[in-house]
Amino acid sequence: MTRYQRGRVHQALRRGTAAAHKALDHHRLMQRLTSSDLTREQYAESLAAMCRPHARLERWVHESRHHFESGLELSPRLERLEADLFELGQPAPVPPASQTPPDPSGGRAAWWGRVYVLEGSRHGSAVIARCIHSSLGDTAPCRFFGEAMVPGASRTLLAMLERELEDHDALEQAVVGAREAFAIYQAELETFDSRKDAVEMR
């Protein structure tokens, strides 16, 4: 099988998911988080929309047998999101466990693709947190976006991705898994929007 030079795996994952990542970032529920005119109500609505897809992706990654086999110590963030929603007076619409199987199909390589999406979301969180505090003040609850990366964690994860996905087939499966994660997240946001529109039209 074809081998990728060190660092090429991360580049390939970025290229392979760039369109999906951009589409998600530009969804109105995500994009307005960095807007200077963000309101507290809009912030609560966006967090509520993110709750279901984040819960699903986090469960797929954290409760998979591949997580236990990998030796990674991933830190969950769902409780932080729910705490922010509670403080904002918004209920957390977390899907029942039966709707989020802990180990979907796709194998170990696809699981690494989901890890890439889930953990990669932490990188932009600091920027979003600053924007939220700039718009809503320092007292706005921001546990979810405000969590700092553990020093060295990103470097360790990238090194593991390079090692685990150096084979061409494994890398391709990881890209597919990552794209599916982005697509599911996007679909959940669209579903949230549709439900909201339906309620407002009654």
Residue 155 lies in a domain: yes
Tokens of 23: 């589409």
13 versus 103: the higher-pLDDT residue is 13
CB-CB contact of 14 with 175 (8 Å): no
**pLDDT value of residue 27:** 96
Helices 8-25 and 107-120: crossing angle in degrees, nearest 10, is: 60
Look at residue 161 and tell me whether its pLDDT is greater than 60.
Answer: yes
Both structure tokens of 153 = 């964690």
Helix (H) or strand (E) holding 144: helix 143-146
Q: Structurally, how many domains does the chain consist of?
A: 1
Using the predicted structure, report yes or no on whether residue 148 has a pLDDT greater than 90. Answer: no
Task: Evaluate whether residue 7 is within a structural domain.
Answer: no
Lowest-confidence region among 44-53, 107-116, 150-159:
150-159
Beta strands in the chain (DSSP E): none
Whole-model pTM: value is 0.88
Q: Is residue 56 part of a domain?
A: yes
The stretch 116-123 carries a mean pLDDT of 92
Is there a domain that residue 2 lies in? no
In the structure, what pLDDT confidence band is assigned to residue 94 with cuts at 50, 70 and 90? low
Confidence of residue 66 (pLDDT cuts 50, 70, 90): very high
Distance of alpha carbon 157 from alpha carbon 112, whole angstroms: 10
Residue 84 has pLDDT above 90, yes or no: yes
The pair of three-digit structure tokens given for residue 148, joined into one six-digit string: 């700092």
What CATH number does the domain containing 116 carry?
1.20.910.10
In a domain, 198, yes or no: no
- What sign for the dihedral angle of Cα 154, 142, 57, 123? negative
| 200 is a domain residue | no
Structural domain contains residue 108: yes
Per-residue pLDDT for 95 more than 70?
Answer: no
Which residue range forms the structural domain that includes residue 58?
A: 15-193
DSSP H helices, 26-39, are: 28-31
